[in-house]
Amino acid sequence: MKNKRLAGALLVLAVVIAIAAVCYPSLYPPHSAPTPANFRRLYIGLEQDEVFAILGPMTHSEFGRDTWQSDECKIVVFYGGPLDDTGDKRTSSGTLTTDDGKTLKLQPRTPGMLETVRGWLRL
């Protein structure tokens, strides 16, 4: 009887460890670095401070354009348009160029589920 309980407890422990190992990376945000995955987290209208928090320190900046260069890609973000209430700059466009020559453009923010439901209900 004790052997069955011990085996059951070890099985439960193994399942918990396996689930934790799978879920662990999603519990913590990815590190700040210029990567294609982090570029996809950016959107038009994002504040400059938030861009820096996602991509880390830039490698070059001039005239409203910040550039990040890494081994796998180059990211260029442009700022423009109206400033918000605090005077922060917001992204107006941007591009990601990967080492194999693929290019992605910065997209507008995708509304979340709550915003979509509010739109349906016209709230």
Residue-wise pLDDT for 22-50, tens only, equals 666 555 555 778 999 999 999 998 888 89
Do both 41 and 25 map to the same domain? no
Report if residue 119 sits inside a domain: no
**Quick one: pLDDT band at residue 102, thresholds 50, 70, 90?**
very high
Report if residue 45 sits inside a domain: yes
Strands, E assignment, the chain: 60-62, 65-69, 73-79, 91-98, 103-105
Q: Taking Cα atoms as reference points, which of 77, 75, 76, 73 lies closest to residue 100?
A: 73
Do both 23 and 59 map to the same domain? no
Report if residue 121 sits inside a domain: no
Report if residue 68 sits inside a domain: yes
Do both 55 and 103 map to the same domain? yes
Q: Which residues contact 63 (CB under 8 A, 6 or more apart)?
A: none
Report if residue 101 sits inside a domain: yes
Amino acid 26: pLDDT: 56
Q: Taking Cα atoms as reference points, which of 79, 57, 83 lies closest to residue 68?
A: 57
Do both 58 and 41 map to the same domain? yes
pLDDT at 121 over 70: yes
Amino acid 42: pLDDT: 93
- Domain containing 23 equals 1-29
Amino acid 16: pLDDT: 78
Number of domains present in the structure of the chain: 2
Do both 56 and 98 map to the same domain? yes
Do both 3 and 57 map to the same domain? no
